[in-house]
Structure 1
C-alpha cells in the first residue's frame, strides 16, 4: 500500500467525520458549515494547502470513484460530496450520533 493510501485510510479510520476539502471551494465551505451547524466534530484536510494534496485526491478517486471535493466520510463510510451531505440533512443527526461525532 502506498504511503498516500495509508495516510488517507488512517484519516478515514481515526476520525468520526473526515472531510477532504479545498479552502477555496464553495461546496466544501457549504458542507463544513452544515457539519458545524450540526455540532459535528470533524477533521478537514485542505488538499490545496498540503504538499501531497493532489496525490490524496487521486487516491480518494481510486477508493471512492469520486474525483471531486468535498469528499466526505462519516463513521468510516463514504457519504459523497456536498449535495449528498445536504440531501442527508434529516438523517445527519443520527448519522453523526452513530459515528460518535457529536
Structure 2
C-alpha cells in the first residue's frame, strides 16, 4: 500500500497499467489525446508488480489495471474514467489537479 501511495503521488496523473492490456492502452490514449502527460507505471514490467496489483485490488480496483490516480487520489478503472469523460467531469478533475492547463 505504501508503494502505491508513493507512486500515485509522484505526478498529477498516474496510471497503473499492464503493457499488454487493451483497456490500459485505451485509457492512456484518452489522456494523451487531451494533452496530458501521465506517469505510467507498468505492473507487468515491475519486479514487485504482483504486490502492487494486490494493493490496488484491496483499494477497490478490479481488475487492478488500469488504475487511474488524479491528484494522488484513486479515481478508478477504465469504466469510471470513461464515465467521467462522457459526463464532462474528467477535464475539470485534471485541471484541478494541475495535470491539464487548457
TM over 0.5: yes
Q: Which residue of 2 aligns with 1:50?
A: 46
Gaps of 5+ in 1: none
Q: Is 1:58–1:67's contact at 8 Å kept on the other side of the alignment?
A: no
SS at structure 1 position matched to 2:95: helix
- RMSD (CA atoms): 1.1
Q: How many residues align?
A: 97
Question: Structure 1 stretches (4+) deviating beyond 4 angstroms?
Answer: none
| 1:72 aligned residue | 68
Q: Which of 91, 94, 97 is the equivalent residue of 1:96? A: 94
The answer to whether 1:17 aligns with 2:51 is: no
The answer as to whether partners of 2:62 and 2:77 remain within 8 angstroms in 1 is: no
Gaps of 5+ in 2: none
Q: Which residue matches 1:31?
A: 27
3-state SS of 1:14 partner: coil
Pairwise CA distance, 1:67: 3.5
Deviation per CA, 1:67-94, whole angstroms, max 9, x where unpaired? 4110111112211111111111111221
Cα displacement (A) at 1:39: 1.2
Offset, 1:95: 0.9
